[in-house]
Amino acid sequence: MRALHWDGRELTFNSAYRAPAGSRSALIKVHLAGICSTDLQIFKGYMSFKGVPGHEFVGSVIEGPRDFVGKRVVGEINFGCGQCDACRRDLNRHCPNRSVLGILNADGAFAEYLSVPGENLHVVPDNVSDEEAVFTEPLAAAFEILTQIQVNPGDDILVLGDGKLGNLCAQTLQLTGAKITALGKHADKLALIKKAGVRTIQLSNWQPRQFDVVVEATGSASGFELALLAVRPRGTLILKSTIAGNHQVSLAPIVINEINVIGSRCGPFPDALAALAAKQISVAPLIDKIYSLDDGLAAVDHAARPGARKILLQPL
């Protein structure tokens, strides 16, 4: 099959890559895959991954559990061992022996076919298009915040970062009735967030002030320090960016201001699919361009350009 392959140093297009072996229970034909900043971090060494990247996808089930065959699906990306303490507590995302689609020991979605465990699948509602459904994974990550903290109407929340994840976090938090402000660098990206009714501020106009909750979704190390300064004493800082490499920051403000710092990663797919089906979250304006899988290398270059919105790959 055709696939993009990362060997740890170089990304190449492979027209005769091995098709997924039947080790996981469902074989899926990929309709669309999304290039995410985590993928771009992988190409800088994140997770020391080798194989087919890609973890955001929508596809149809070719082989697998009978209830799913022929259905349009999205899939959760963490594959637990099923035996350990974490897995027994239904926390396969935190299984120490897990593989993660396109990120850790599992070939991913930048290919014609991929293979995932059947229990990771979720059927896509008919009124959700492929172009919308491919955002389920990052949208679920935004919904994860609501499983981690209690958001009250009237809470003053800052979302830092106007990229795809910042946009989805701002739209998701806006559903709670809290007062959401998005802070970012790019006027055009902030304009997209503003359409959801979110207050926006461009970084050049930023007057430092403090919020009950700050969500750091800039995808860059410099966002962390700004985020820390924007949390009120006893407030909450949610960290969403995964960044390759190590960075030096002063942790003293966390102690002095007694800040709750919460790491936040993958989230609930059912909540994300329900919000897409109810048209509560608008994702189509986030799409920049759809490339054929064969042009995958150009697509990855495009995704890495500053200011790029979501780039999708389509195996035709």
Enumerate binding residues for Zn ion (CB under 5 A).
36, 38, 80-81, 84, 87, 95
Report the C-alpha gap between 2 and 296 in whole angstroms: 10
- CB of residue 36 to Zn ion, shortest distance in Å: 3
105/210 with CB nearer Zn ion: 105
- CB of residue 298 to Zn ion, shortest distance in Å: 20
Distance of CA 188 to the CA centre of its chain: 21
- CB of residue 9 to Zn ion, shortest distance in Å: 22
- CB of residue 220 to Zn ion, shortest distance in Å: 16
35/231 with CB nearer Zn ion: 35
- CB of residue 84 to Zn ion, shortest distance in Å: 3
99/200 with CB nearer Zn ion: 99
41/200 with CB nearer Zn ion: 41
Amino acid code (one letter) for 191: A
In this structure, the dihedral spanned by the alpha carbons of residues 26, 27, 31 and 33, taken in order and rounded to 10 degrees, is: 80
37/314 with CB nearer Zn ion: 37
